[in-house]
Structure 1
Amino acid sequence: MRLVQVFVPRTELDLVLEVVEEAGVDYTVSRDTDRGDFEALVSIPVPPPAVEPLLADLRSAGLDEGSYTVVVAAETIVSDRIDDLTGQFVGTRIAREELRSRAADLAPTASTYFSLLIVSTAIATAGLLLDSAATIIGAMVVAPLMGPALAASVGVIVDDDALATRGVTLQVVGLAVAVLTAAVIGWMLRGSVLLPPGFDITAVPQIEERITPNVLALFLALGSGVAAVISLTRNVGSVLVGVAIAVALVPPAATVGLGIAWGKPAVVVTAGTLVLVNVLSINLTALVLLWFAGYRPERAETVDRVYGRVRSRVAVILAAILVLSVVLGGVTYGTYRTAAVEYDVSTELETMSEEQLAAGTELQFRETAIDYELVDVYTGEQPTVTVLVERPPDEELPDDFADDVRERLESAAGVELEVIVELVSTLRSG
């Protein structure tokens, strides 16, 4: 429920009461006895869906724009008349004015925003280097990225240029600050006693996850955008939704910074692509859902202009996502190919060991390493497979044994391989 309170300018009380009575809602009037600019305070309890049409009717009737209209969320209303009142207005959507106010409140002041973002990025960077998912999730709780994303979309929808510009600026500068923060931290930690000698950031699972993104990564961003809009328009779960949005943005941004600190362009490109796709997807989802939820500018004459702006922004964002998705698609395919080769080789070696066992020999084939990286898929580099073969000390192997192993593995994997066979004489007891 909401309590709408209208500070009525002098000579306009009859106008306000006429509008309220036509709306069919209850109200009370508190008359002012001093010499101020207002002659009365009209309090009107209404359900959330009734706020926007009520405010629109007051504006259409000519209520002085210099008056105050305050909308207060009422936690509890005790009355037998509530059911009749809520039955008149169906829906869960909050008023446009509430939407704008909430979006503005979710985008904190610059000092607060950047302070929280730097702290969050520092914690997330530590979590990435420690390969700690719990630390990364903990860092996301304090990341203030939900507000700017929603502020940008709401500002466009309700034709508030200042709010839209502020939201976009906070997002762009904020992500740049996150990348810079992680780069500085990485530069300070690299080569220090806090990390082991020869530490390779690409070997850390939490970092590897951000530098090998696939098309499925879009679901996190799109889902976060949907949840953010629902949270904003229905005032539920904003903290948890903010965590989801931060997870989509801060860890990959921190990974970009670590890639800069370690001088790895591939890390910067792949993680940077993930950041851009996620932030664009969140903004795209928010724009589309808010428009289809029925939110429009306050002035009817600006609706067509705003619709044109929304349509052009959606088109630009979609085009950018499609271009960036080429990189995601390439990473997805490359990751699949490397995983497929590794799986086929491992499966074939197991089959070869089982065949030897069935034939009564004691040869055993073990895969010790497969050198086949994502970039090798596109540069045409052959995968290098190292195979450890256990054999009895007196077992003689043909001269072309290594070639036979290579041919079988190539047939199973469907690609040309460089195979290194290491022979180990093994004695078994029992």
Structure 2
Amino acid sequence: MLHLRLITPSDRTDEVVQLIEKTVGTTHLAVLGGAARNPRGDVVLCDVAREAGDELLAGLRQLGIDECGSIAVENIDLSLSKRADKAEKEAPGEAADAVLWEQLADATHEESTLSVTYLAFITLATMIAACGVVLDNAILIVGAMAVGPEFGPLAGFCTALVHRQPRLALRSLTALLMGFAVAMVVTLGFSYFMEAVGLFTDKLLRQDRPNTGFIYAPDWFSFIVALLAGAAGTLSLTSAKSGALVGVAISVTTVPAAANAAVAFSYGQYNQAKGSTEQLLLNLLGIAVAGTLTLLAQKFFWARQRDRIGARSGRV
């Protein structure tokens, strides 16, 4: 269930209440007349089944409530109410399959911003991965994968493509590419520093690395895993399964590939640097393709399901 808190101008409250009451899957409606002070108006509260949330939010935006008032949405972790159970049963489809497009767009908008924090995370992750590739330490590689924030702008790029928003797509792509560029340049300097203090050596990079050698040897398995991870990551975002997203983060070789490319370049190992760069680009392409196709499929099948339920309700 979702909880909505609305601030509406007093002359628009009746329209909002009517919209909520006619939306299947809503309950616990409450109106606090004149309770809002900034902006002035009424406060309207209600709960709505997740599978009916996107329809209600779209209707509220058509009424202009996001411009003249406020729309706030929260996830309800626990709701002990027979009315809530009834609302969820009446709502079309399954909550796990529902996509809140407004929530997804807002989340990916924030994650795809080229901020200092984003640059710090991706740079630190790449430096951790650099230590992992030189030491052939799989644990450090996994840790770097978990720290890397690159899935945010990738998801933003996919969402922008599905919504046909070229400006958001360009911003997400800029954050992604600039983030990796900055991280690789800093890691290059980090590699020189570690060599100067005797912690990195050319011998360590040249020796057989059974645990991390795959990072600079891209193949079809790399692309297939990227496709699968892209689909799983997109599903985890649309269904709010953050635990699954962590699993996606540690399954795709993006940050470690960037790290290996930077370290290999610092030692003149251009073949390794080339292979790592190909691995990085291959994985990014696979995630982007799978993420976009997954969102398109969700949009298509959810629309068809709602149409079938609407047609059945009309016959009844």
Normalising by structure 2, report the TM-score: 0.84
For residues 107-131 of structure 1, what are the alpha-carbon distances to aligned partners after superposition, in whole Å with 9 as ceiling and x for unaligned? Answer: 4661101111111111110111111
Aligned counterparts of 2:63 and 2:201: Cα–Cα separation in 1: 72
Q: Is the Cα–Cα contact under 8 Å of residues 96 and 158 in structure 1 kept in the other structure?
A: no
Aligned counterparts of 1:54 and 1:258: Cα–Cα separation in 2: 51
Letter in 1 for 2:139: A
Task: Report sequence identity in percent.
Answer: 24
Q: Is the Cα–Cα contact under 8 Å of residues 146 and 250 in structure 2 kept in the other structure?
A: no
Aligned counterparts of 2:75 and 2:192: Cα–Cα separation in 1: 48
* Aligned match for 1:283, one of 266, 288, 295: 288
Aligned counterparts of 2:271 and 2:280: Cα–Cα separation in 1: 14
Q: Does 1:292 align with 2:297?
A: yes
Query: CA 1:217–1:115 in structure 2 vs 1: closer, same or farther (change >3 Å)?
Result: same
The aligned residue for residue 8 of structure 2 is 8
Q: Does 1:274 align with 2:279?
A: yes
The aligned residue for residue 17 of structure 1 is 17
The aligned residue for residue 215 of structure 1 is 220
Equivalent position SS for 1:12:
helix
Query: CA 1:197–1:14 in structure 2 vs 1: closer, same or farther (change >3 Å)?
Result: closer
Higher RCO, 1 or 2 (CA under 8 Å, sep at least 6)?
Answer: 2
Q: Does 1:123 align with 2:128?
A: yes
Aligned counterparts of 1:32 and 1:101: Cα–Cα separation in 2: 29
Q: Structure 2, unaligned stretches of length 5 or more? A: 301-316
Equivalent position SS for 2:229:
helix
Aligned counterparts of 1:99 and 1:64: Cα–Cα separation in 2: 17
Aligned counterparts of 1:121 and 1:61: Cα–Cα separation in 2: 46
Aligned counterparts of 1:64 and 1:211: Cα–Cα separation in 2: 49
Residue 176 of structure 1 deviates from its aligned partner by 1.5
Q: Is the Cα–Cα contact under 8 Å of residues 137 and 212 in structure 2 kept in the other structure?
A: no
The aligned residue for residue 229 of structure 2 is 224
Query: CA 1:68–1:269 in structure 2 vs 1: closer, same or farther (change >3 Å)?
Result: same
Aligned counterparts of 2:37 and 2:87: Cα–Cα separation in 1: 35
The aligned residue for residue 74 of structure 1 is 76
For residues 75-107 of structure 1, what are the alpha-carbon distances to aligned partners after superposition, in whole Å with 9 as ceiling and x for unaligned? Answer: 211211122110122222232111112223434
Q: Is the Cα–Cα contact under 8 Å of residues 129 and 201 in structure 1 kept in the other structure?
A: no
Q: Is the Cα–Cα contact under 8 Å of residues 182 and 255 in structure 1 kept in the other structure?
A: no
Following superposition of structure 1 onto structure 2, how do residues 361-400 of structure 1 map, counting pairs within 5 Å?
none
For residues 243-276 of structure 1, what are the alpha-carbon distances to aligned partners after superposition, in whole Å with 9 as ceiling and x for unaligned? Answer: 236x420111111112211112211221111111
Q: Does 1:243 align with 2:245?
A: no
Aligned counterparts of 1:36 and 1:271: Cα–Cα separation in 2: 53
Q: Is the Cα–Cα contact under 8 Å of residues 35 and 43 in structure 2 kept in the other structure?
A: no
Q: Is the Cα–Cα contact under 8 Å of residues 123 and 135 in structure 1 kept in the other structure?
A: yes
Aligned counterparts of 2:102 and 2:125: Cα–Cα separation in 1: 31
* Aligned match for 1:52, one of 38, 51, 54: 54
More helix by share: 2
Q: Is the Cα–Cα contact under 8 Å of residues 217 and 279 in structure 2 kept in the other structure?
A: no
Q: Does 1:164 align with 2:166?
A: no
Aligned counterparts of 2:267 and 2:36: Cα–Cα separation in 1: 70
* Aligned match for 2:262, one of 257, 274, 297: 257
Q: Is the Cα–Cα contact under 8 Å of residues 152 and 164 in structure 1 kept in the other structure?
A: yes
Letter in 2 for 1:8: T
Aligned counterparts of 1:282 and 1:88: Cα–Cα separation in 2: 36
Q: Is the Cα–Cα contact under 8 Å of residues 143 and 242 in structure 1 kept in the other structure?
A: no
Q: Does 1:132 align with 2:137?
A: yes
Equivalent position SS for 2:218:
coil
Aligned counterparts of 1:100 and 1:276: Cα–Cα separation in 2: 25
* Aligned match for 1:84, one of 83, 86, 101: 86
Q: Is the Cα–Cα contact under 8 Å of residues 141 and 239 in structure 1 kept in the other structure?
A: no
Count of equivalent residues = 294
The aligned residue for residue 309 of structure 2 is none
Residue 199 of structure 1 deviates from its aligned partner by 4.2
Aligned counterparts of 1:293 and 1:240: Cα–Cα separation in 2: 21
Aligned counterparts of 2:165 and 2:196: Cα–Cα separation in 1: 49
What do you get for the CA RMSD once the two structures are aligned?
2.4
For residues 173-207 of structure 1, what are the alpha-carbon distances to aligned partners after superposition, in whole Å with 9 as ceiling and x for unaligned? Answer: 11212322332233334475334674443533344
Residue 134 of structure 1 deviates from its aligned partner by 0.7
Q: Structure 1, unaligned stretches of length 5 or more? A: 296-430
Following superposition of structure 1 onto structure 2, how do residues 349-368 of structure 1 map, counting pairs within 5 Å?
none
Aligned counterparts of 1:125 and 1:197: Cα–Cα separation in 2: 13
Aligned counterparts of 2:36 and 2:79: Cα–Cα separation in 1: 30
Larger radius of gyration: 1
Letter in 2 for 1:30: L
